[in-house]
Amino acid sequence: MKLPVYKVASTIAPADHIRELGQRLFPRQDHQIVERGTKLELRCPLGQIEVDTGKGGVWAADTTRLWRFDPASGKKPRLLGTPEARKLSLDILKTHHITPELSGPFRLKTPRATGAVTAFSAKKGAPRQVIHEDNTVITDVEVDVSDYGLKQKALSVVGGGGRFTTVHGDGGSLLAAGGVWRPSIGKPVLHDVIPQKKADEQFKARMGNTPVSEFTSELAYYAAPAFAEQDMLYPVYVYSAVADFKGNRVPLRKVMIPATDVGPAAQAAAMAPPRSSKSEPHVRPLPADFMPVPGKALPPGIALNKRTMLSRKLQFTDYFVPGPANTPLIVNPNLTQVQIKELANLLGYYSAGTSWIGLSGGLSGSQNNAKGFVDELSAIGWNIRFNWGDAAAWESDWRRNDDSWVDAVDFVFYTGHANSDGWVLATPDDTFLHFTETAGARDLWGANNLEWAVIAACGPLQDEVVESGGDVLERWRDAFDGMHILMGYAQVTYDTEEEGKRLAQYAKSGSSIIQSWFRTGQEIQGSGIWVGAYYIGNASGSTGNDHLWGVGSVGPDITSPTWRACSWVPC
């Protein structure tokens, strides 16, 4: 059997129409257009439009409104009905040339009319509220293969490309639009399809000693996400599997294997090196001669340990002067020498860490996924306290020794395998961090330092609201001992190298942590997946609009939340 491989163009995007899209998204707003290489950006105080003529991608968003959820306010948007939302979405995509004219075997599927949703609990024991936050309409491309002897008449497109999205808020107002499609050029070339049995052998070899109990595969075409380059559209086998980790039935991240001789072959790589029981976290000390300067701002990347300040009963206003929101802290110009030294002892670098399951779990993308996260934060001065993979990604770092590891950093990123109940780690301990293990004494995530945790895997934010079962607000409530946000997915996801890098890049650019995570998930993950974020609040504020330290506002450390919420957006 043969299937066509298509050479595709890398220079199609509506650059000529960026102003018209800007006028629709940001009416009556002044804006400027900036060129950076192949990327054209329209910027205004409400958000931005990015058009990459080299890679074909479009992203447009009003970041003052997109995914800015406030469930405690009681406000609910006036949303469009399904037919209206579909019609408006297709009109916007066509009018502003975000979707190209498709021809030959390529066609648009019927748009999926869905939308962001929030599960909200005003207090423990109260009935949950379900809030429909927006109209999200997603239109996917499919490839007609009816002439090639397959049972299927068409194959889906996976990988993040071949998808177009619009988001509409109150009254149908446009909040965001984007997508990517690289049209084929020239005649396609037929290539022999690798037999199913041979592909299965490749999959089993990739899984190694992973305790796989069952697996299936399906054919699809791979189209790269908007931020990546691609010159060939080619078929792949998409493998789904389940493994049994010591009694825990865990879906594995989906992996793609080229279905012909076109496409990247699996790269030979070594598992992460073993770890000594005497391993210490990496601590980057401040320069020995560093002292805060009265009347001056703290340098970029320098963090104040507010928890230690409070434990010593020191007043923030004694050491810093009031200033505008989202600006560097200004040291009080009237500090004494004793106070300057005392303040210096409260300062350090912001820190991050990663734990990941890679080749030990059959995932070739995890190592670079984690590396992208820490590299992006290291580039702006953050200390990378740990980066442990495979057998070195100990469960104990997340539990009994969390004060030295996971709860000693501001931001932690995990990638590997998960389900609704927890995620896979390595010995010592039982190799699966179960939600029941977060209960007990309130001395876990956030009691020391941790603000934000990402679980880039097949969970753990499953919930009946997004058709994957359970009550995430109750299941993971004990994980919050001061932690601000727990991020993850509600369905089985794809192995990738890009989540960590994209999340950090978008957060560095000024988007909130949740906005950055939702955009990352939508750009990379497949259709039918929900990307989510669990956050909390009380009378002192909410953590739902947190930004990276030094980039924007950060909510309070909340150890006794009065309300809880989890929001999801569709991919």
CA atoms within 13 A on the CB side of 52: 19
**Model confidence band, residue 513 (pLDDT cutoffs 50, 70, 90):** very high
- Quick one: pLDDT at residue 42? 94
Contact 133, 120 (CB under 8 A): no
- Quick one: pLDDT at residue 402? 95
121-176 pLDDT, tens digit each: 999 888 999 999 999 999 999 999 999 999 999 999 999 999 999 999 999 999 99
What pTM was computed for the model?
0.95
Q: 149: which residues sit within 8 A by CB, 6+ positions away?
A: 1
- Quick one: pLDDT at residue 315? 87
The conformation of residue 290, written as its DSSP 8-state character, comes to -
**Model confidence band, residue 267 (pLDDT cutoffs 50, 70, 90):** low
- Per cent of the chain over pLDDT 70 is 97
Q: 345: which residues sit within 8 A by CB, 6+ positions away?
A: none
The conformation of residue 73, written as its DSSP 8-state character, comes to G
What single string gives the DSSP state of each residue in 368-414? Answer: HHHHHHHHHHHTTT-EEEEEEEGGGSBGGGGTTTTTTTGGGSSEEEE
Q: Which fold has domain 349-570?
A: Rossmann fold (3.40.50)
User: Rounded to a whole number, what is the distance in angstroms from the first to the last CA of the chain?
Assistant: 32
Which part of the chain is CATH 3.40.50? 349-570
Instruction: Please tell me the distance from the alpha carbon of residue 153 to that of residue 245, in angstroms, as a whole number.
Output: 37
